[in-house]
Structure 1
């Protein structure tokens, strides 16, 4: 990782980005599925929260423990079995942002050498802290595309003006 500070700052922006992306969405449409088999906006944002919490746990383990095991999870089973469709998107986005703020503090306290520490993912194999941070950033970016598409399909694509914090 050439510049941990800039990557951590990029990670930190994820909370405000998700809150912006979900702002002003009509609550009566949160659980609406655009197409059969596709997640609703509430399910998508609940997935982003769940995944972010899991990825934060993995990063903490890599920072604090020696060669920890990092367990995979079945995202579709979590959506089905954890009633993600009823999660209010504003609440999920706020929890996501709070988690990002806490992890940002932890990451800023890491030494540069900590980003080379590793854990053993149960499916993906050995992963460094730097790789976990990058995966966490790209995971949100990947799903924001779907989030905006869902908003547009439901006729709610207009968002307030975004200002970086």
Structure 2
């Protein structure tokens, strides 16, 4: 297991809050590209996904080859009322979950990162591959937030903290 991978995972904790800084409620709800998620839906998806991911990682650590159930992210976005949630609270839940999960990951022996679970859609996954998946997932969706902010005329800073102007 690459300790750099754990630190990369942990470093993502505050990036959601940084990515949404300075947005208005109207901008959170806007869909500048028709048929795509709003920034608020993406932020709530980050929270949901990371909470589910932390559960999966903990189960791989604590249980013997557990079954990891997939979920329908579109159904979550359509049926769990993301528009009623505060994006800043969702970003804070994301941050706290990442930070606390990173404490657990840093405490593990090297051998733990080869432990496996059986994902209902992807088959066998290792703890190490799960961590990498959530690092990449964050990067993937942060690009969407940056693009939407730019289309809304409020580019802010990119997820690296650099001015997007």
TM range (shorter): over 0.9
| CA deviation map 1:44-92 (0-9, x unaligned) | 1101111111111100000000110000000000000001123222111
- The superposition leaves residues 96-127 of structure 1 with CA deviations (integer Å, 9 ceiling, x where unpaired) of 00000110111011110000000000010000
Give the aligned partner of residue 139 of structure 2. 141
What is the CA–CA distance in structure 2 between the aligned matches of 1:162 and 1:56, rounded to whole Å? 25
- Alignment length (residue pairs): 161
Question: Is residue 94 from structure 1 mapped to residue 95 from structure 2 by the alignment?
Answer: no
Cα root mean square deviation, aligned? 1.6
Q: What residue number does 2:56 align with?
A: 58
Q: TM-score, normalised by structure 1?
A: 0.92
Q: Which residue of the partner structure matches residue 121 of structure 1?
A: 119
Partner of 1:162: 161
Instruction: Specify the alignment match of 2:21 in structure 1.
Output: 23
Structure 1 runs of 4+ aligned residues shifted over 3 Å read 159-163
> Which stretch shows the higher mean deviation, 16-25 or 103-112?
16-25
Distance 1:40 1:86 in 2: 13
Deviation at 1:146, TM superposition (A): 0.4
Task: Work out whether 1:48 is the aligned partner of 2:51.
Answer: no
Distance 1:162-1:35 versus aligned 2 partners, 3 A rule: closer
